[in-house]
Amino acid sequence: MLTDAELTVLGLVAERPRHGYELDEVVSERGMRDWTALGFSSIYYVLGKLREKGLVAEVEGERAHAKAKKTFTVTEAGRQACAAAAEAAIAELRPVHPPVLVGLANSPAVPPERLAAALARRAEAVGERLAEVRRAAAAQEDAPAFVRAIFDYSIAQLEAEARWLEGIT
């Protein structure tokens, strides 16, 4: 079983051999920090875990970046593990625990005018986030289909929440 962070890093290394700095750049470019808990320092930790599991290996003598010390490539076991974990992540519906649901469950404790203001702030934040994701998607318009699908999914979710907020406020 791979964690979401492990699957994310493994998938990027499966695309092509990469070093930690490049992984961090791709995570930033694709807006992956918005849906993963993958910081720069954790990339090397995850690479170490993947190496221990035999899913990635170091490419000897290759330095693709001045700061890079090690470049990693996916092993055959890593490719298989990535495919299986990605398929499961796509097919299986897993519960999510958005804090907004906890807030709504406890909203009777909030005075009506404050609840309305909180929902309005959320609607504004959703609108801003939607604009940001649309800009990021437009900047990646030549990205592979799977990257476009991530942006499209995120946009569809934000649009759905914006519609819901319009109906409730």
| Angle, helix 145-168 to helix 112-139, in steps of 10 degrees | 160
CA angle, corner 93, sides to 92 and 97, nearest 5?
Answer: 140
pLDDT at 62: 57
Flag whether pLDDT at 159 surpasses 80.
yes
Per-residue pLDDT at 70 exceeds 90: no
pLDDT, one tens digit per residue, over 75-86 is 999 999 999 999
Whether the predicted pLDDT of 93 surpasses 80: yes
Instruction: Look at residue 68 and tell me whether its pLDDT is greater than 60.
Output: no
DSSP summary character for residue 108: G
Per-residue pLDDT tens digits for 43-56: 999 999 999 999 99
Alpha helices in 1-106, H assignment, sequence order = 4-15, 20-29, 40-52, 76-91, 99-105
Strand order in the sheet with 18-19: 18-19, 71-74, 56-59
